[in-house]
Chains A and B, each alone.
Chain A
């Protein structure tokens, strides 16, 4: 074995308690990091999944809130125009040529599916119960492609909707509140006062209270009828892309091509996702603090070892070890401490993550969640060990370098 490694090993083994304490410092730092990052990224992924339940990668719609340019602006584009009391125009939120746009988008290799949608506010009446909610007119097969609805069905089936023109698939929360079962007839009333009798052909549960409690799906033509609109009337196109991470860029391209507002899922859910950044900051700041503490521990212990080993250093240098060899001896010690400590930390973090994953967690009626969501992505274990070794290398570097520059004569003379 390499003589430097042999000496480093002997030094470590001659003080096993001190070595262990130094290692445990790193172990706790890395263990906490793994545990926190597993929980935090688990939560992040969970919120992301939640938003993905309700939002498509990209939603194309007509944005009627966009400020409208006045006629004056159009005639005098360079002048300083001021028009008082500009009132909004009664604009339709229909997407023009929605079906053609959908066809064009479906040709795009980066797009997996395009689902048209038309939503209306409604009151659900069933016996004495009257509930506020919304009905989404969809092409149920396209919708299934985007949101995987068939796996979320509690009762009935998607295909029943296709064969039943006044069919309705209702959310599980809604079904519960209305005590409605398959085959029941519900009376739907629109804000315009139109009433329509519809038959429950399915019950879905997305696991998100805000949807399950209010929404139902029906055929797009039924909702068009409810609203008294023509067969081309579609307000939303939901788009699924091959890579939802780059949905933002794709949305910008689509918006530029078709001139309608295209919003990606991250923008649509920015308030929900903001928590992710805060959780990341917390995780990293706590872990880095712990590692710095561990680093100081190693720095101290190594300094002490070097102080106790002054005589040995003098002997080594007198017998022909160069400054870099002496530095290597002590740096090796801190790297061994760092590597073993980090490995133990990974194991500790993994065990604690497993335990955390067992912790029962009640998401209330809003979230279908029975235990904490924990992420076991190996990527964080790699980051953990790199972090641990880097910290100990840095903490060990300063005293090790100093050890290399110890003047042997001062020690030989001074004894």
Chain B
């Protein structure tokens, strides 16, 4: 039986700069636990905008957002920051790491912020995640010294560190060559299949989308399928 993990009701969003226009129009969608969902659509159709809303980073919209049976609209920014820290892992198109810190420290920081485990425990967990992504040997390198593909894998390890409910990726392979894209895709696939991880990924890559569990297509701020 499929249980709903994330649910939106009538989400609308407007931008007012330089002129008012509606980016998202009455979005109703459900994401099931453990599925690998891809979000596709033409450039400018509103995919990124939607993903930022789902990740709770942008709460300036109309409608309702519910994750893990919790209504998130109207919650305070501090509460949402904490919620994001604990339950949402985000992977960006550009491998966003803190450049002065090592790969290991980058993975550890969200867990240190959460403060659920001791520093030693967090360190072993972080090493496990790096190992899962096959870059444990790079752990002590300063992140700015890693290759693009390696950095993206560190970013995925970081997204996993607090065992989140959902991982969201905005074109996570968009900036990678085909080999690294394959590695990232395979990792996502493995996470959903073996660990029951829920993943939403925005992509332009048709091949990528076709091999996910389900694809949602957007056009002009509406979900078409």
Chain A residues within CB distance 8 Å of chain B = 3, 6-7, 10-11, 14, 311-312, 314-325, 408-409, 412-413, 415
Contact = CB atoms under 8 A, between A and B. Distances in A.
B113 A325 contact: yes
Given A314-B96, A408-B57, A320 B101 contact: no
Looking at chain B, what size class is its interface with the partner chain? 20 to 34
Given A319-B84, A322-B78, A409 B113 contact: no
10 contacts: A3-B109, A312-B98, A314-B96, A320-B85, A320-B86, A322-B77, A322-B78, A323-B77, A323-B78, A412-B170
Contacts of B84: 318-320
Interface string B67-111: 000000000011001111110101010101111110000000110
B164 to A, nearest CB: 10
B82 A320 contact: yes
A110 B98 CA distance: 69
B109 A412 contact: no
B86 A412 contact: no
A320 B100 contact: no
Contacts of B81: 317, 320-323, 325
Given A311-B96, A409-B52, A413-B48, A319 B85 contact: yes
Contacts, number: 67
Contacts of A415: 94
B158 interface: yes
B114 interface: yes
B58 interface: yes
A319 B96 CA distance: 11
When A and B form their complex, which 7 residue pairs have the shortest distance between CB atoms, in order from nearest? A320-B85, A322-B81, A3-B112, A320-B84, A14-B100, A319-B110, A322-B78
A387 to B, nearest CB: 32
Contacts of B86: 320
A409 B57 contact: yes
A14 B55 CA distance: 31
A409 B100 CA distance: 22
Contacts of B55: 318
A312 B98 CA distance: 6
Given A3-B109, A321-B81, A315 B114 contact: no
Central interface residue in A11, A312, A319, A408, by most chain B CB within 10 Å: A319
Nearest to B55: A318
Contacts of A319: 84-85, 90, 109-110, 113, 158
A323 B58 CA distance: 14
Nearest to A4: B113
B78 A409 contact: no
A358 B190 CA distance: 77
Given A3-B109, A10-B100, A323-B77, A318 B57 contact: yes
A324 B85 CA distance: 14
Q: Which of A14, A322, A324 has the most CB of B within 10 A?
A: A322
A299 B101 CA distance: 25
Contact of B58 (A3, A11, A322, A409): A409
Contacts of B78: 322-324
A37 B57 CA distance: 52
B49 to A, nearest CB: 9
Nearest to B85: A320
B183 to A, nearest CB: 22
A10 B99 CA distance: 10
Contacts of A413: 48
Contacts of B110: 319-320
B109 to A, nearest CB: 6
Interface string B104-130: 000001101110000000000000000
Nearest to B79: A322
A386 to B, nearest CB: 31
A319 B58 CA distance: 13
Contacts of B101: 10
Nearest to B168: A318
A409 B61 CA distance: 14
Give the one of B83, B99, B112, B113 with max A CB within 10 A. B113
B57 A322 contact: no
Nearest to A408: B57
Contacts of A11: 100
B114 A320 contact: yes
A173 to B, nearest CB: 71
Contacts of A409: 52, 57-58
Contacts of A318: 55, 57, 84, 90, 92, 96
Interface string B179-209: 0000000000000000000000000000000
B104 to A, nearest CB: 13
Among A316, A320, A322, which residue has the most Cβ atoms of chain B within 10 A? Answer: A320
Contact of A315 (B52, B97, B112): B97
Interface string B148-171: 000000000010000000000010
Nearest to B101: A10
Interface string B35-71: 0000000000000100010010110000000000000
A86 B139 CA distance: 101
A319 B87 CA distance: 10
A191 to B, nearest CB: 87
